[in-house]
Amino acid sequence: MISNRKRPRVLSTEGPSSVLNCDTSGTSTTTATANSTAATTTSTGTNNISETPPPYHHSQQPHLLFSNNITNHILSDTSTDSASSSSFPFYKTLPIKSKIDSSTFTNPFLSIHDAASSSSSSYALEDEEDEEDDDDDDVIAEIDRFRDDEDDDDDVIFLEQREIVKRNSDTILYDNDALEAYNLFNVNNIIANPHTTKKQRTNSLPQLPEVKCFYNKIPENYVLSTKKIGNIKTNVISYRTDGESCDDEQGHYIVRVKNLFANRFIIQRSLGRGTFGVVVEAYDKVKNRSVAIKIIRNIQKYRDAAKIELRILTTLKKFDGENLNHCLPLLEVFEYRGHYCFVTTLLKSSLFDYLENNRYLGFPASNVQSFAKQLLRSVAFLYDLKIIHTDLKPENILLHDDSFTKKKLTSSTTIEAFSHINNSTRKTPKTTKVLNSTEIQLIDFGSAIFADEYHSSIVSTRHYRAPEIVLGCGWSFPIDMWSVGCVIIELLSGEVLYKTHANHQHLAMIEKVSGTKIPIFMVPKDGEVAEYFDADGNLVSLDNPKLQADVDVLDRIDRWLGTRLGLVLNLEYGLKENYEKNQQMDYAEFTFWFFMVDLISKMLVVDPPKRITAEEALNHPWFNLGILDEGTSSV
């Protein structure tokens, strides 16, 4: 999905940036020498990636039984020892078929048997009448409804009980009051009576179906022992030339609605256009389904960039063939009239577009928690594969289903946040549009890189750019976690945290929000950014009064978010001390908000090695707590 905030996709001409010399991926660093050697081997030519890793670790199997008699036989999903990482179930080999059907379009990252089975699958889109928007603000487009079939067992969801582990860092540790509250409101308790599961699930954690999935960590020794994917050959689709060029002067493919594309697809509409090329919705006549096709510009530097993106997408497919980690799956790839074409699943609106169409009313907190859980699972999966996305933002997070239900706006936190957007004097809406489903997919891997390969000096969209990128002191995995923190804030409040386009102002905002000075070791010794610091490494004041005014309206993240939520928060104190100043709110609800702000603050730590990792974040106590709001009132 392309939006007007999307930054240009160009290859940097600047020199490579140094990579942070620290392991911040949250994965084990203990591996055999032989495995490490294998990790550095890069294959070339066509890659057969039909071999897929075991999808579930023994210690990560779903907990289907919680009887006291078998509790001792259930393994904890936090186990990371070497013994557990070597005990995988074996796959049954596929029977060899005498003949496999082939077609002009082949999928380079599927085995021939997988390709044969996938060729018989079909998808149907159910078109329903668009709902008329009665709001005075009728800038909101009508939203199509699309519903996936639900599993029969979605009513009964089990989660395991986890222990809070204190972190060795300078960040605030969970105090005794927080632990007490966690134990009081923890919803992951063992369920002894399965007949009361549904009632208990609904009462304790209404949004549980939206956050029901677990992240199944890929063992590092398996990743290291697998050859990295090299260049991938694509099928070239033949065509008859009629003498008319299909490209404009900039190398973009000229989209003609209702025209036949690549002898197989009927172009339905253009979904967007960017520096890299265009994205169209098309109907696949062979498989009878609607898809999205990303058509890369017919210019060599963009073709080269597309090859890198193809390697990333193929790696994701290899290690997550079932798309359990919410990264957009690549269905097919081919070359047509000089353009690389990526065929992917057709999704709906981006979170940014939906937020914009809902008048920048923040999502219900239960929805934000669901988005955060899925997004962190995607980032953790990428880290396991040593991949950095580098461009996480609401525009690059798409919904599977953007249908909604209008509900009365009752959450005081949402109303309070709306009143603070640009010091809004607009009348607070009485209703809000609440999503019927919060399932998302992370897209746009055009800027993603393997951690051990070339790092451009400048990456990420400005509003979500980590301080180490601005400072030019080298970056690695933690930049994605910084972006996740910024995204969560925007989805919750409807407001961008770092509204800036200048490095000096951006750094001043970062210091104001973090409540700390930029560490001296991160301050560059020369260059443009170095001019923003004095001889002692302190950030100098802004000369422009207008830029300084934008900094002054900010505050430390706990206080800034607290103000927008109508709360008084100070993370220097524990849960009980904070609740004494917020007794107008139910204790359980306040506990939810307290832990949410605590997690966000850990994502926005300036020092990259001290920033929380995706795997640590998934085990944060916030994800064991629930809240009743517009997003859960229908459960």
pLDDT given for residue 311 in this prediction: 93
Count the Cβ atoms, other than its own, within 10 Å of residue 114: 16
pLDDT tens per residue across span 547-581: 999 999 999 999 999 999 999 999 999 999 999 99
Q: How large is the average pLDDT for residues 533-548?
A: 94
Domain limits of the chain? 245-345, 347-623
What's the pLDDT band for 12 if we cut at 50, 70, 90? very low
- Among 16-25, 122-131, 382-391, 617-626, the range scoring the smallest mean pLDDT is 122-131
| Fold annotation for 347-623 | Transferase(Phosphotransferase); domain 1 (1.10.510)
Q: What distance in Å separates the CA atoms of residue 329 and residue 514, rounded to the nearest whole number? A: 36
Ranking 110-119, 342-351, 372-381 by mean pLDDT, the lowest is: 110-119
> Distance between CA 273 and CA 60 in Å, rounded?
41
Q: Which two tokens stand for residue 518?
A: 């930029």
Instruction: Give the tokens for residue 236.
Output: 């070239």
Do residues 438 and 1 make contact, with C-beta atoms less than 8 angstroms apart?
no
CATH class label, 245-345: alpha beta
Outline where 280-388 has alpha helix (H).
300-319, 351-357, 365-384
In tens, the pLDDT along 355-384 reads 999 999 999 999 999 999 999 999 999 999
Mean pLDDT of the chain: 74
Residue 539 sits at φ, ψ, to 5 deg, of -70, 125
Which of the following is catalytic: 391, 401, 402, 607? 391
Is pTM beyond 0.85? Reply is: no
For residues 205-211, average pLDDT: 41
Confidence of residue 499 (pLDDT cuts 50, 70, 90): very high
**Residue 244 DSSP SS3:** coil
For the residues of 393-461, what is the DSSP string, one character each? SGGGEEES---EEEEE---HHHHHHHHHGGG--SPPPSEEEEES---EEE---SS-EETTS---SS-S-
Annotated binding site: 294
- Could you list the residues known to form a binding site for ATP, using ranges: 294
> Is 391 noted as a catalytic residue in this protein?
yes
Instruction: Give the pLDDT score at 448.
Output: 95
Residue 239, pLDDT > 70, answer yes
- What is the model's pLDDT at position 235? 79
Distance CA 157, CA 151 (A): 11
Q: Are 475 and 469 in contact (CB under 8 A)?
A: yes
Specify the 3-state DSSP secondary structure of 487. helix
Residue 177 one-letter amino acid? D
CA-based torsion, 551, 553, 557, 559: positive or negative: positive
CA 221 to chain centre: 25
Say how many Å lie between the first and final Cα of the chain, rounded.
30
Residue 530 in this model has a pLDDT that exceeds 80: yes
Phi and psi for 19 in degrees, rounded to 5?
-100, 135
What is the arithmetic mean of pLDDT over 250-256? 91
How far from 39 is each of 219, 228, 583, 599, CA to CA, in Å?
A: 13, 7, 54, 33
Q: Which is more confident, 508 or 134?
A: 508
What digits encode the pLDDT tens for the residues 41-100? 433 344 433 344 444 333 333 333 333 333 343 333 333 343 333 333 333 333 433 333
